[in-house]
Structure 1
Amino acid sequence: MSPLLQGLVTILIGVGGCVGYFYGANLMLDRVIFPARGRDPGANISRANAVRPWLFMAPAMAALGLYLVYPVVGSFWRSLFNRDGGSFIGLGNYTDLAADPAFRTALFNNLLWVLVVPAASTFLGLIAAQLTDRIRWGNIAKSMIFMPMAISFVGASLIWKFVYANEADIGLINAIRAGLGFQDPIDVIQIPFWNNFFLMAILIWIQTGFAMVILSAALRGIPDETIEAAILDGANPFQIFFRVMVPQITGTIVVVWTTITILVLKVFDIVYTMTGGNFGTQILPSYMMSYMFKDDGRATAVAFVIMLIVLPVMVWNIVQARKEMR
């Protein structure tokens, strides 16, 4: 069967199965389980309406249970065994992680990424959104700033690898140093601690465009009356921006910040491509990868730790989104 025909058959089966399920479920609920007849048809109709949403959500809940809940529970259970999965060791993998200096370094670096990248990306995106809305060639500027979003993390890392190259003929930083009179080139991605910030700059470069687009739409949604009132009250441009406009888009800023935070906690490509986790740049995903093929129990424990770190951010984001909808 050709791929095109196979795709069409899959779509037909999927759509037909969904339609058949919902039609059959409605039919059985209304005519067999809670028929609108008998001594109290009104009560049966109320019961059917109460059950109907759960009946419609059942396929999605089953899929989530199979592809989300089951892997999480299975991963946690796997993390309680030794490297070959033959012996139950309880929380031994987690205690080994806590005692491992490399894990503590990876955790510290991850916290640095979480503190710096979302804040810098959101701030630069906010400034870019405001400035590009006030110039004639703003759309061209937005396109240029957003363009890195179209590049994969690996591709962006390779681009910046040339920027950071320790040769003045290739690396931009060493070319600038050579122009200032410094003769000895340096490899910035091998400088302990500070090399983490050079790697963060890559993700900031990518995510600033995303933040700019979302925040630009939010800024355009601010009522003109509030800005005009601030101007009449004698507010200067900085006061209008930071005290009038920014407070009105706080919800959007929070959404952008949390979205980038979740992305940062899962980033792997940049570190793996640039340094492979060496030179003190190890983060939790790259640390997990280093144990993936030699100690499955510890790698699974690291994956569960990453999930526990991401979970509060996601829950907080959902709570804030619900508050915005009220």
Structure 2
Amino acid sequence: MVSQIVSAVGVMIVGVFVCALYYWLSDKVLNLALPVRDGDVTQASRNLNRRAVIRPWLFLGPALLLLGIYLVYPVIATFILSFHDRSGETFVGLANYRWAFFDAGFRQSIFNNILWLAVVPAACTFFGLVIAVLTDRIWWGNIAKSIVFMPMAISFVGASVIWKFIYEYRGASDSQIGLLNALVTALGGDPQVWISMPFWNNFFLMVILIWIQTGFAMVILSAALRGIPEETIEAAVIDGANGWQIFWKIMVPQIWGTIAVVWTTITILVLKVFDIVLTMTNGQWDTMVLANLMFDWMFRGGGDSGRSAVIALVIMAAVTPIMIWNIRQANRDAGGH
């Protein structure tokens, strides 16, 4: 353990040294290539302008190269792979796309993703906003916010294991160790295998992500609420507005941009949801989503790189527009362009 820590620290020190050395050397080379001499004012001015243009690209060069290798190249390779067979060697044209269009499992995954998109972002944003408003002006508000935010510190797999115990089912004649079934039986009902109930089991899985992400929405929206000018709320109170009217007609319109950013951020996360479904049901009982379907086609049953590539491209096509809008909206809220 100690050797691993020492090794990690050593790598970080070497990495920082190499980066600093690169920036110093590249700046030196640039200054030598475009010198500024006192004798020729016009040439000196031209070289200074050239330095100003080249230097940012020179410093960003390594990062852009790494982004190209690890982001752009995989996208291109995946697109090419989508036109090949399961081995990735034989060109099959649009066969994989035709399979996706007619495959029942793919359509079920699309439906489940749409279901997640319709419920999770809305629920997280709504609960986050309500909690942020309710805890904004009470003395124990920060304690409540800390408790709500705590699930964010848990991994999706860890949270799924926790909720698997909550949904746990034992035989009808056995004592129920699952919290939900224990409550149901205590109230005189019959225990249920909650995560194997088609259609409804999707909502039981969504609860896990809502439980995790509500804290994120609450923190962002709470910060936005703090930015609302007190004068507008005081003016509304003087005009006779009640709490409900202040919330919907004063607060929400002023933080609508932040609400949209939170909504779209969670939407991107939902489009990529994988861990929860894998841990809870492994995609069984009609709970399969696109990311899990892609994983199954790529790594199980011998693998099919062509079909998995098509699914990956569908996920990317769904995420990219939302991500671009999200970045633009965040820049606009921050006063950028």
* Interval containing the TM-score (normalised by the shorter chain): over 0.9
Secondary structure in 2 matching 1:73: helix
Q: What is the aligned partner in structure 1 of residue 243 from structure 2? A: 237
Q: Which runs of 5+ in 2 are unaligned?
A: none
Distance 2:13 2:166 in 1: 50
User: What are the within-5 Å matches in structure 2 for residues 1-326 of structure 1?
Assistant: 2-32=3-33, 34-37=34-37, 38=40, 40-167=43-170, 169-182=176-189, 184-293=190-299, 294-324=303-333, 325-326=335-336
Distance 2:5 2:81 in 1: 39
Q: Cα offset for 1:158?
A: 1.7
Q: Cα offset for 1:171?
A: 2.8
Distance 1:11 1:165 in 2: 44
Q: How many pairs are equivalent?
A: 324
Q: Cα offset for 1:203?
A: 0.5
* Structure 2 counterpart of 1:158, one-letter code: V
Structure 1 range deviating more: 303-312 or 6-15: 6-15
Structure 1 range deviating more: 167-176 or 201-210: 167-176
Distance 1:12 1:136 in 2: 44
Distance 1:228 1:130 in 2: 16
Q: Cα offset for 1:300?
A: 2.0
CA distance 1:9–1:220, shift in 2 (3 Å): same
Distance 1:157 1:111 in 2: 21
* Structure 2 counterpart of 1:83, one-letter code: R
Distance 1:224 1:53 in 2: 42
Distance 1:169 1:9 in 2: 52
Distance 2:201 2:6 in 1: 51
Q: Cα offset for 1:77?
A: 1.6
TM-score (norm 2): 0.91
Q: Cα offset for 1:220?
A: 1.5
Q: Cα offset for 1:28?
A: 1.8
Secondary structure in 2 matching 1:286: helix
**Percent of residue pairs identical:** 57
Distance 2:27 2:241 in 1: 61
Q: Which runs of 5+ in 1 are unaligned?
A: none
Q: Deviation string for 1:265-303 (max 9, x for gaps)? A: 111111111111011111001111211222122112211
Q: Deviation string for 1:137-174 (max 9, x for gaps)? A: 22222122112112221221122122222346223333
* Structure 2 counterpart of 1:219, one-letter code: L
Secondary structure in 1 matching 2:92: coil
Q: Which runs of 4+ in 1 moved over 4 A?
A: none
* Structure 1 counterpart of 2:11, one-letter code: T
RMSD, aligned α-carbons: 1.8
Secondary structure in 2 matching 1:292: helix
TM-score (norm 1): 0.94
Q: Cα offset for 1:5?
A: 4.2
Distance 1:4 1:280 in 2: 44
